[in-house]
Amino acid sequence: MATEASPPRRSRRGSGAVTLHDVAKLAGVAPITASRALNTPDQVSEGVRKKVGDAIARTGYVPNILAGGLASARSRLVAAVVPTISGPVFLETVQSLTDALVEHGYQLMLGQSGYVGSREDALLGAIIGRRPDGIVLTGIMHSADGRRRLMGSGIPVVETWDLTPTPIDMLVGFSHVDVGRAVAEFLHAKGRRRLAVVAGDDERAKRRQDAFQAAARALGLDEVQVIVVPAPTTLRSGRAALAELLRARVDAVFCSSDLLALGVLTEAQARGVGVPQDLAVIGFGDLEFAADLHPALTTVHINGAAIGRQAAQFIVDRAEGRAVEPRIVDIGFSIVDRQTS
């Protein structure tokens, strides 16, 4: 009586990984036929495809995409680097980037660089060595060594969430300087004269802070009170910052994240400070909860989904040999005027 063939034993001297030869042997076909069933299935019969598919299911075989990519020079992988996934401000961009890439047959690998340049350099070294079809970065401030390696890699690179006339390759974002200036002018127009900033210690928040202070000076306002907290920013650091700021009798606070602003609002409520009667509060990011707070949070809206979609389009166009022009896209920003201002 015929018995079902058992999956091949793995060689103790090898890596232990099931190979395409193992799959072909179990399916009863030649290795080249098994390869065609995987890579060009229209070249083999439905019966062969089923036998190879059954063998793959039984062995747990995973194709070596990198090895296949050596011939095609395509990995179908894109690497994205964000400072952190604990702060939700980048999540919309990551989700949009993922969805847009999947539509074109690409997958996303995500890495966290933190807010220290050396960590980004180490991560970039690992990424470049794996030759993805594209790299998506957060921000434009990279080390000189990291920038050289990216430019020399020949891999399409998209910088995001920032703006500069001299990107490494392609860029989609907005001006942090313009954000800081616009918020100061917005608060001045609302009649606020004693301004404060609560900002994370990352470089992008610092540029918004500096522009906010410069605009306040240009408007003839008193010195801006500044409190810098560690990034990624938290609700707790926002509460502690307002407790300190109230000694200076400020009447408006610009926070470098909506989470900080939520902390400021929480502390104001705990201390009986009226918002917006006594204190205006503005966040940054327009996270989902901002509109549902009581009072609803005034904040700077960034279209993170649009950033992700454009970054994906840049990568796909370059990987598939299409010209990319313009290489710099400014998506802008808007101040959403709600109840806290």
Q: Tell me the pLDDT tens digit for each residue of 53-74.
A: 999 888 877 765 555 544 455 7
Give the pLDDT score at 174.
98
pLDDT, tens digit, 9 for 90 and up, residues 104-127? 999 999 998 877 666 888 888 889
Single out the residue of 1, 8, 43 nearest to residue 28, CA to CA.
8
For the chain, domains (ranges, CATH) are: 1-63 (1.10.260.40), 75-174+304-331 (3.40.50.2300), 176-301 (3.40.50.2300)
Average pLDDT over residues 295-320: 96
The predicted pLDDT at position 16 comes to 60
Output 56 or 308, whichever has higher pLDDT.
Answer: 308
Cis peptide upstream of residue 326 (ω within 30 degrees of 0): yes
CA atoms within 13 A on the CB side of 61: 26
The model's confidence at residue 12, banded by pLDDT at 50, 70 and 90, is very low
**Measured CA distances, 61 to 10, 19, 31, 117, 150 (Å):** 12, 7, 14, 38, 34
Nearest to residue 239, comparing CAs of 220, 251, 249, 253? 253
β-bridge partners, 252: 195, 280
pTM of the model: 0.80
Tokens 């979609």 appear where?
309
Kindly report the length of the chain: 341
**Structure confidence at residue 18 as a pLDDT band (50, 70, 90):** confident
For tokens 């890699």, the residue is 153
